[in-house]
Amino acid sequence: MDRLTSPVTSAARSKVKSLARSLTLSQRLSLLFAVLLLACFGAAAWLQMLQSTRHAQQVEQHLLRRLAGHIAAEASAMGPLGLDATRLASVVERLRVTNPGVELYVLDPQGRVEMRYPETAPLQRVLVNLAPVREFIAGGDMLVLGDDPLSASGSKAFSAALYGRGADNPGFLYAVLQGAAYDMASAQANRRSAFEIALWSVGLVAPLGLLAGAVALALVARPLSALTHEVELLEAQGLQGRVAQGLSGARLAPGTNDEIAILRAAFSRLVDTNAAQWQRLSHQDQQRRELIANLSHDLRTPLASMHGYLETLMLKSPQLDAAEQQRLLRAALAQSQRLSQLVHELLELARLELGTLKPTIERFSLAELTLDVMQKLALAASARDQRLEPRFAVGLPDVCADIGMIERVMTNLLDNAIRHSSPGGEILVELNAESTAVRVEVIDQGPGIAPERLATLFTRPTDGHFHAPRATAQLSQPGNGLGLAIVRQILQLHGQEIELQSSPGSGAAFRFRLPLADADPAAPAS
């Protein structure tokens, strides 16, 4: 039997699951609400019938409380039980004309049934629990239920009274107020009532279920459908489509507690974050490709020049005099130095961007460091007939930074100013104290920087040549454009930023700050 039932049960479960998958969310919610409403109606009806039955028992027990006492008074007589059996039967018959549900039991002092009227059905219990009987006789005000002798476990409302067997050993008249006849009539009425309640429930559940489905569709299904549409759109278009459409930046209204709205906003922000990260990665990948192409170009130029000089020296060495050979060697050496500097700066910038270089903070005099750098570059400035002019405030305090890194910053800025300033010009270096920092300014008299180049000045150059992006007239001068990118990375490691003020034809002023040795590192510079 189990083997036959199991496939049938599995098939039924499979059909139910298939039907559930074919329903939309709003249809499933409507069905769920309808089932819950039916269950609520059924529970309410059951509770109502239970309460109605209990109320009827309580009312009937209250109204017929003295029934057993009247029967005992009317049927009392001298005899073995202290009752006249004939008169007792006559009283019960008259009583059942107006109340057919009454059943009378004569109990001995231990609760055993000695007589009963009428004898319509076999007894299920011959011994009645006397505790509820004594409670009733003692005057219990609330509903007291006693054993039903015609039921193995049922209880009924009753009336009870003592009858004489002697003052010390009385018996009990036990009148069940709602007997078997009452139970049959009550069961028929309950079935009819249950059928009517079922009809009313179905009639009410249908419109209420539809209404609940409409509300669920408006409050739950629509936001979920919108979220599902967003997920499907993201799956179809990918992050590229999200970037092309523009990041939505979904935000919740203040005080919103709707979980679906919160979920949708969180999903939108997550997608925007991933799309922005993808966009940055794509941009970085494009920059990497361009950087490789630019490196190939700029590395090829000095390598080709050096190869040409060395090849000329090797093939024509017997025909060249010593001076010409020295010239070719110096030119090859210059190209080698240029190549070495380019590779060194690329490696240094890569280490700075990766964060493998950490500044060692120490206290030092920025004025002394700046003078040392200016002295180191004085020869290069003199070769171009330029003047390096220091303007330091009196009594400059010490600063806290990595002295080696700051020396590189000053070297790169001054070298940049020397290369891009006009011959015979002046390069000004100013140091001034502020409340929590020393402000550094390097001002040149070059051709200035075009506005469209300002945004990319401190990044890796990707325009085909590693020249510093200054005025067009200066692009042919030596330089690889990595010095300013290194400056920015070093200052960012110190929690500072490089500032630039420039316009075409008016030179350029580079500005940054370093915290004082005694200042709070967390305090902002003035």
Query: pLDDT, tens digit, for every residue of 350-382?
Result: 766 666 678 889 999 999 999 999 999 988 889
User: Which pLDDT belongs to residue 467?
Assistant: 37
Pick from 360, 434, 448: which is nearest to 397 by CA? 434
Structure tokens at 458: 């401190």
Judged on CB neighbours under 10 Å (0-12, 13-18, 19+), 156 is buried
For 242-268, write each residue's pLDDT tens digit.
666 666 655 666 666 667 777 777 777
> Where would I find the H helices in 316-402?
322-354, 366-376, 378-383
DSSP structural state of residue 516 = B
Same domain, yes or no: 327 and 371: no
Q: Examine the fold and report which residue of 176, 202, 234 is the final residue of a domain before the chain moves on.
A: 176
Query: Which helix H or strand E contains 480, and what residues bound it?
Result: none
Contacts of residue 287, defined as CB under 8 A and 6 or more positions apart, other chains included, come to 460, 462
Dihedral sign computed on CA atoms, order 405, 410, 411, 413: positive
Cβ contacts of 183 within 8 Å, gap of 6 or more: none
Q: Is the peptide bond before 390 cis (omega within 30 degrees of 0)?
A: no
pLDDT of 81 above 70: no
Residue 524 has pLDDT above 60, yes or no: no
- Domain end, chosen from 331, 350, 369, is at 350
Tell me: do 156 and 296 sit in the same domain: no
Alpha-carbon Rg for the chain, nearest whole angstrom, is 52
Distance between CA atoms of 185 and 179, rounded to whole angstroms? 10
**pLDDT at site 406:** 92
- The one-character DSSP state at 361 is -
Residues 292 and 439 in one domain: no
Asked whether residue 44 is assigned to any structural domain, the reply reads no
Assess if residue 229 is contained within a domain: no
Q: Do 424 and 463 share a domain, yes or no?
A: yes
Tens of pLDDT, residues 455-502: 556 665 544 333 333 333 333 334 445 778 888 888 888 889 988 887
Q: Residue 213: inside a domain, yes or no?
A: no
pLDDT tens digits, 2-50: 555 566 677 767 776 666 566 666 667 667 777 777 777 777 777 777 7
Distance CA 400, CA 316 (A): 57
**pTM for the whole structure:** 0.44
492 and 374 belong to one structural domain: yes
The helix-helix angle for 25-63 and 180-216 (nearest 10°) equals 150
Residue 434 placed within a domain: yes
Which residue in 251, 269, 259, 252 sits closest to 220, CA to CA?
259
Last residue of a domain, one of 311, 331, 350: 350
Two tokens at 268? 């939108």
Tokens of 60: 């009937």
Residues 70 and 116 occupy one common structural domain:
yes
β-bridge pairing 171-176 and 362-364 = unpaired
CA-wise closest residue to 401 among 524, 521, 514, 522: 514
Distance separating alpha carbons of residues 208 and 280, to the nearest angstrom: 53
Q: What is the dihedral of CA 368, 371, 373, 375, to 10 degrees?
A: -140
Which CATH number belongs to the domain containing residue 164 in this structure?
3.30.450
Distance CA 408, CA 388 (A): 17
In a domain, 373, yes or no: yes
374 in the same domain as 509 = yes
Tell me, yes or no, whether 134 lies in a domain.
yes
Answer for the pair 146, 129: CB distance below 8 angstroms, yes or no.
yes
Residue 328 sits in a domain of what CATH number? 1.10.287.130
Range of the domain at 121: 65-176
Position 372 scores a pLDDT of 93
The CATH number covering residue 509 comes to 3.30.565.10
Q: Which residue has the higher pLDDT, 165 or 181?
A: 181
E-assigned strands of 356-484? Answer: 362-364, 387-392, 399-401, 426-433, 437-443
Spatial distance between the Cα atoms of 214 and 29, rounded to a whole number of angstroms = 10
Q: Are both 412 and 333 inside the same structural domain?
A: no
Domain membership flag for residue 7: no
Q: What is the pLDDT of residue 284?
A: 72
More confident residue, 354 or 95: 95
> Are residues 344 and 363 both part of a single domain?
no
* In the predicted structure, residue 387 carries a pLDDT above the cut 80: yes
77 and 99 both lie in a single domain: yes
Q: Going by C-beta distance under 8 Å and a sequence separation of 6 or more, which residues neighbour residue 78?
A: none
Question: Pick from 368, 517, 511, 390: which is nearest to 439 by CA?
Answer: 511
pLDDT number for residue 523:
45
Q: Which residues contact 491 (CB under 8 A, 6 or more apart)?
A: 409, 497, 498, 512
How many domains is the chain built from?
A: 3
Whether residue 421 is found in the same domain as residue 505: yes
Two structure tokens written together for 316? 């024509």
Q: Does the residue 298 lie in any domain?
A: yes
* One domain for residues 124 and 148: yes
Which pLDDT band, with edges at 50, 70 and 90, does 398 fall under?
Answer: very high
Q: Please, are residues 498 and 441 in contact by the beta-carbon 8 Å criterion? A: no
